[in-house]
Structure 1
Amino acid sequence: MATKRTTAPKAARNPVPAEPAKCPPCGGTGTVAATVRVGRKRRPVGQQDGLCLNCFGTGTDPES
């Protein structure tokens, strides 16, 4: 007759930590593109990188 297992398998005892979810606006990079506007008519001339205000540059979703 087989003996009963008294402990959980090793995989169940030491689960692998899940990766944190990526921030949706920046895609996990922590930066977003901001359009640069110049002139009286405020025409767009380019883009520059800015800090993501949703995750404050961490790249992880603050809701998870």
Structure 2
Amino acid sequence: MATTKRTTKSPPPQPAAEPAPCKPCNGTGSVAITVRVGRKHRPVGKQDGFCLNCFGTGTDPDS
């Protein structure tokens, strides 16, 4: 009798897990910053700013 070669199947590759969205910017990469003007620094509106937690990527750096 001839010997047969037996191999084991490797498990199928797991799909890559999606990174969690950044909490301060909700995954957008930008946050609203209040604009203040005048001597009393009264708020007049909001301006889009760069998210300093994720540096604009939108993904949580801790995950």
Which residue does 2:9 correspond to in 1? 7
- The Cα shift of 1:26 comes to 0.3
| Superposition pairs of residues 46-61 of structure 1, within 5 angstroms | 46-61=45-60
- Structure 1, unmatched stretches of 5+, are 1-5
| Superposition pairs of residues 34-45 of structure 1, within 5 angstroms | 34-45=33-44
- Structure 2, unmatched stretches of 5+, are 1-7
Please give the secondary structure, in 1, of the residue aligned with 2:36: strand
CA–CA distance in structure 2, aligned partners of residues 55 and 7 of structure 1: 40
Please give the secondary structure, in 2, of the residue aligned with 1:37: strand
Structure with greater Cα Rg:
2
- Comparing both structures, which one devotes a greater share of its residues to helix? 1
Which residue does 1:21 correspond to in 2? 20
> Where does structure 1 differ by over 6 angstroms across 4 or more consecutive aligned residues?
none
- The Cα shift of 1:54 comes to 0.3
Count of matched residue positions in the alignment of Structure 1 and Structure 2: 56
- The Cα shift of 1:38 comes to 0.4
Q: TM-score, normalised by structure 2?
A: 0.82
Q: What is the root-mean-square deviation of aligned Cα atoms in Å?
A: 1.1
Percent sequence identity is 70
Q: TM-score, normalised by structure 1?
A: 0.81
